[in-house]
Chains A and B, each alone.
Chain A
């Protein structure tokens, strides 16, 4: 700090300077953590979307809200050009029993095997056997045009975490039922295993199974009409398109519109739209984090203003002497502004470092979702630079208050 400004005085009041730096540092660390972790999670989800093997998703309001899923999938493939797969997926928690144990709550996913595989992204693709060893690849035999009277294979794939935990191996039998009652469970053949992709915000799926869609529908009462509340139900239908369409937003949107025309009563969105929505949501969240952090930043800068004001009060005589000697007001103002900026800059640096270390500590020492979220943190230089510039600009405001006070000091009173 220049010995000519009040910086020299601040050298002699280190405690106040340290406290001001600490206050601003704490105020800066919070947005650094929120924005970096929030941005990292958003980027991760965005990457997941971009890496998905499907490009269009059909969804309905309510749970398991899509009906006639088998027929819809066939119709999409037969009428909408450029579609390569239409995979209905029904996800329901059921109970599993081993030969000696259970029940164990487990997430069951009902799929049509030959439609499911093409909709897997690069990450998931390596985790599942290809083709899926679930008997009838089309699921049409058991489904049998909605009568569900065809022969079922009763094949099931289990996740590797469940395999490890339960001791069930490929070739063993596993009893599955909609309630925790073995007498209502049906025996399935374990025909394969699959890995669980890294998951952060969705269902963990650690204990998960995959079985034919029609099997799960019958088991859970979402199968044949009229007994089922929603016949042939699914939660979503994921639609893959040809590579040229997938990489062309306008062509993809045209396909999406054709699918929407087929199912005007369901929501149809492309992943491009979802990615845009996610980016918008991420921007809103970043703004929200910064707004939330502005409270802390305001307190930090208020503290800075108070420290500078206190210094001005303590240095009334020195300021009076400077002004009596004829030093222009701007040189006195410059000294105070410099002090404010230096303290704010130091606080910002401390905050950036503290925020980074905090995120790294959480990623190292925390557990569960918090740890995973922290490990995804992205420290975006433009965002952090904008934060620092904002702090410095606001510090000018805080310094301005003290400067105004200094320039209003009456010289004759200060020299008494």
Chain B
């Protein structure tokens, strides 16, 4: 607990603080670019990209080990990973555009075959018997434990640059996500912006490899945006919330992993962001489960109240227990189910409302259908006063019975 507190307050040493900052920046940029990808409905493309980095990583290791005797130079590994991820991305794009296969098949095919190739190369490296190969499988699930401060700085700086780039391009991205045709007429090169978006996603993936590992970096580009979607309907706000969520996840994940030696950072970051997601799914006021249940319950009691009052006005017996409970709560009936004076008045009002609604529906069926009301609101709130007057007149005039 003590260790965690120290890590949380950035006082657990220079290296840990550096890694924490790097992970937070990474989380922010992953959350932001992921939001645009989510809006474009291509979330799982990042899965293909991240798996496709493996052969590049391994080839870069082999080349560097052969040339310089040290295959673990991070920038070199990143370049290799980036190149093979770009190849994978190109594959996904071409398969889904030029052939009849769907994007899901393209993603799955690229992901599995390039990863398979990477695995073959791993076994080749193991057979080569060069030094420094021990840390290579760290790239599968991430490890920040043995990270050098230079590496952490590199990751942090790259993430910051990406963050700024995404921030500057946000409006073009949004336009392309929502209305590509309109963007074209506005002179925005849609194809190029789209490619740029994917390249930034690729860059985030490559930078994140060392932190969360290549299987889990996907989570950082998918979960925070989905979380952001729960809290707002405005796209730029969603991007901002996703970024905050990513920052929080990076912060919590890295600090939690310092609690005990040997705890993997990647899974902790991912589980932190999942916890934020689960929380949002539950308590978000707009689309959360609890909000939905409450709204449903409110709607149900309103319907039962109205139906109960109508039944009272028509002097019908009420048997439904929920209706009775709702009426009782409003003091419209006594304990022995006899209506109170207030209940009778409310029942008269309800019946009057209902008559007005049904008159309106029979007179103006089209308008009523367009009003999008269920007839539970007071009708005077939904219709203009002159229309109300007309309805009242028609309701009380003898003309109505004649017609």
Does A associate with B in a complex?
no
Q: Which residues of A contact B (CB under 8 A)?
A: none
